[in-house]
Amino acid sequence: MGEAADPRRAVPRTDVVLGDPAVADAQRRLGRAVVKRAVAAAQQRVRAGELDPAGVVGAALEALPATACGLRPVLNATGVLLHTNLGRAPLSAAAMAAIELAAGTCDVELDLASGERGRRGRGAVDALLAAVPGAADAHLVNNGAAALALTATGLAAGREIVIARGELVEIGDGFRIPDLLTATGARLREVGTTNRVRREDYAGAIGPDTAFVLKVHPANFVITGFTSSVPVAELAGLGVPVVADIGSGLLAPHPLLPDEPDAATALVTASGDKLLGGPQAGLLLGGPGAGAALVARLRRHPLARALRVDKLTLAAFEATVRGPSSPTARALGADPGELRERAHALAAKLAAHGVEAAAVESAAAVGGGGAPAVTLPSAAIALPECYATALRTGTPAVLGRIERGRCLLDLRALPAEADDALLGAVLAVPCTS
């Protein structure tokens, strides 16, 4: 092969490609190393005869990710409002703006008036206490399991926790409440049977070694039939602290979730990224008197430092609680009639483009370990099953569900402003049924 035919001579120089304005802008957003790898890959395609030399800049830019983060946005059309694999609660615009503010330098632990060190997370705690008037003190850690682990470590290491057998639950991904509790050095005293427990079962188990009684809400399953349990209020007079792990983070009763416990009770542990609609966080709330004293005690425990939340979480949490309704709250309260109208409009637009689509009734769920017995009336677009994979791997990615040989795109967890993106995503992918 002569020198004139050597493809290596046609490859644009790396410094020339990196100097292209569009490539230089990508370096500012993504970093030089990421962009240089994409350029090198495009240059190699020229050497292999797969790409024209003039196409190196375009090919390199096309291969670059949208951000320096490997995560991809996903349209949640599963009908599960709090999808664990999709990060549970999507944040409100107010929370995202708060994160952007906190990403820089901010007064997270500084009293600007005095110039002295301030109490970390004061704004988030104040917002939480204002939202739960029955709570006298609160503390945040990095997730719901951490809140329970801190409580067990701080109050029950080397002592007993009294818990009903039917509440020894597995919380997901193989993690189990009893394993979490015993890992803290506590011992479990099981009472009752799998399906029934009475107040006298708890009373008979309490002794000098009892640290507290634990009530765990079985958030991801339902036992029906011949069952009985004891409300937290009936356990309060047993002479020992009562800890209620309510899981889902519902701060106040909700008409659609009558059986879901809320935060206005006992010493409570809960999650921030479920029904509360905020970032991943663990909540500890205590009522006046003993409950508040226990929270204050746990705040000063050495483990609390290891479990503390960062400034981004504190900012997003405060904005969620103080700010406008979260996307989770709006999805939970969505009007079924409006969902049906959206589904029919989208199906008609898809059909006009030759897509086999129909609006159908659907049933959505809360998800995220909350309200397992509750179904929420919804509406969906039914497509041929072949769309499921094509949409999941497309841009933007769309996650639906397969039901009876169809791909259903449920609208309950999708805001109306996402309809155009959903329509474009369906029209952009091929499907051969």
The alpha-carbon radius of gyration of the chain (Å, integer) is: 27
Give me the amino acid identity at 189: R
Q: Which domains does the chain have, with CATH numbers?
A: 3-63 (no CATH), 74-84+329-428 (3.90.1150.180), 92-325 (3.40.640.10)
∠ CA 99-102-104, nearest 5°, is 125
How far is Cα 320 from Cα 123, in angstroms, rounded to an integer?
A: 12
Q: What is the pLDDT of residue 154?
A: 96
Beta strand pairing call for 267-271 and 282-286? antiparallel
Whole-model pTM? Answer: 0.90
Contact 228, 197 (CB under 8 A): yes
Report DSSP letters for 103-143, one per residue: TSS--TTB-TTT-SB--TTHHHHHHHHHH-TT-SEEEEESS
Per-position DSSP letters for 261-326, written without gaps between them: --SSSSEEEEESSSTT-SSS-EEEEE-TTHHHHHHHHHHTSHHHHHT---HHHHHHHHHHHHSSPP
80-82 β-sheet, strand order: 80-82, 358-367, 370-384, 406-410, 401-403
| Overall residue count recorded for the chain in this entry | 433
pLDDT score for 27: 96
d(CA 35, CA 62) in angstroms, rounded, equals 11
Integer Cα distance of 34 and 70 in angstroms: 12
pLDDT at 1: 43
The pair of three-digit structure tokens given for residue 218, joined into one six-digit string? 């079985």
Residue 4 has a pLDDT of 53
DSSP states of 236-277: GGGSS-EEEEEES---S--TT-TTS--SSSSEEEEESSSTT-
Residue 191 is predicted with a pLDDT of 96
Mode of pairing for the β-strands spanning 187-191 and 242-247? unpaired
Q: Which residue has the tokens 């979730």?
A: 257
Q: What is the DSSP letter of 91?
A: P
10-residue mean pLDDT profile of the chain (433 residues): values are 61 94 96 95 93 94 91 96 95 98 96 94 95 92 95 96 92 85 96 94 96 85 80 88 85 74 74 94 91 94 96 98 96 96 98 96 88 89 96 95 96 97 95 71
CB 180 within 8 A of CB 148: yes
Of residues 101, 97, 82, 124, the one with CA closest to residue 321: 124
The torsion of the CA quartet 287, 291, 296, 301, rounded to 10 degrees, works out to -140
